[in-house]
Amino acid sequence: MGYTDQRFNVNLSILFTELPLLERPAAAAAAGFTAVELWWPWIETPTPDRRELDALKKALDDAGTQLVGLNFYAGQLPGPDRGALSVPGEESERFRANIEVAADFAASVDCKALNALYGNRVDGVDPAVQDELALENLVLAARAADRIGAILLIEALNKPESPRYPLVSAPAAVAVVDKVNAATGLGNAKFLLDLYHLSMNGEDLPEVIENYTAKTGHVQIADNPGRGAPGTGDLDLEGLLDRLRKAGYEGWVGLEYKAGDRPSAESFEWLPRSQRAAN
């Protein structure tokens, strides 16, 4: 099984970044992919002008690419900021302002997964206060996702690269998933299982797959070390994806790796072109 029985999509916020945003869907299509995902593209604002939203929709439509995952506003990403929803004050207010904007855009392109990054710990603020705020905002996000028939994704990052982010293990992220589902009764909060981040945390990846596949709504991959394409590091990504499939996962696998010094289009040699288009 391995790579041959997966549905792959390309994250256009980490690949094809040598191109302007509106050119990336066509570049992904030219490389053979029909599905893509994005971090929130407008890092400076949670509420971009309608014309910018329409232009991105047109670029996706014109390229024939399906948006299968979208982050809510998460601050300066990539960068030191990781999420906004648990940060008191302006950042959490910006997240709330973004909720319906992101959900409405997702609905306009039939995107069925919205990812909410938790947010860093803040000096001088009780972590319990941040966690309470996070749950309030995640409940709002889950309800917005439910309104458009989508799931809400909650992701674990890795401690070496995001030392102030509190969800740095699969159990920690899944515990939040369970809290959100208990608070809403909707059951649409799911775990985003990123094999690169979990490997950076030193987790037992086969054990994570065994324990949490049933609660997983999306998977992302990059090799480790280096966060490069499969085959550039030491992870048995093909074997791990095979385990996921056998455990019952049938969803998307997002390619969230760095192309390195070469053009992004040259970083897919590990995946035959015939396997890039979604079935």
Three-class HEC string of 82-98? CCCCCCCCHHHHHHHHH
**Element of type H or E holding 193:** strand 189-194
Q: Which of the 8 DSSP states describes residue 219? A: E
Q: Note whether 218 and 115 are within 8 A (CB).
A: yes
| Least reliable range by pLDDT among 36-45, 78-87, 149-158, 235-244 | 78-87
Closest CA to 137 of 166, 190, 176, 105: 176
Q: Which long-range contacts (CB under 8 A, 24 or more apart) does 170-177 make?
A: 170/198, 170/203, 170/208, 170/211, 170/212, 174/212, 174/215, 176/118, 176/134, 176/135, 176/138, 177/215
Q: Is 187:181 a contact under the CB 8 Å cutoff? A: yes
The mean pLDDT of the chain is: 96
Confidence of residue 77 (pLDDT cuts 50, 70, 90): confident
CA atoms lying within 13 Å on the CB side of residue 243: 17
Candidates 43, 4, 9, 5; CA nearest to 218 is: 9
Q: Which spans in the chain are helix H?
A: 24-30, 50-63, 90-108, 127-147, 170-184, 195-200, 205-212, 237-246
pLDDT score of 109 more than 80: yes
User: Where in the sequence numbering do the catalytic residues fall?
Assistant: 155, 256
CB 133 within 8 A of CB 89: no
Query: What confidence score (pLDDT) does residue 4 get?
Result: 85
What residue has token string 């990052």? 157
pLDDT (0 to 100) of residue 81: 65
Residues 146-205: tens digit of each pLDDT: 999 999 999 999 999 999 999 999 999 999 999 999 999 999 999 999 999 999 999 999
- CB-based contacts of 274: which residues, under 8 Å, 6+ apart? none
Global model pTM greater than 0.85? yes
Q: Is 80 helix (H, G, I), strand (E, B) or coil?
A: coil
Q: Which two tokens stand for residue 35?
A: 């599905």
Domains of the chain, first to last: 2-275 (3.20.20.150)
The answer on pLDDT for 1 being more than 60 is no
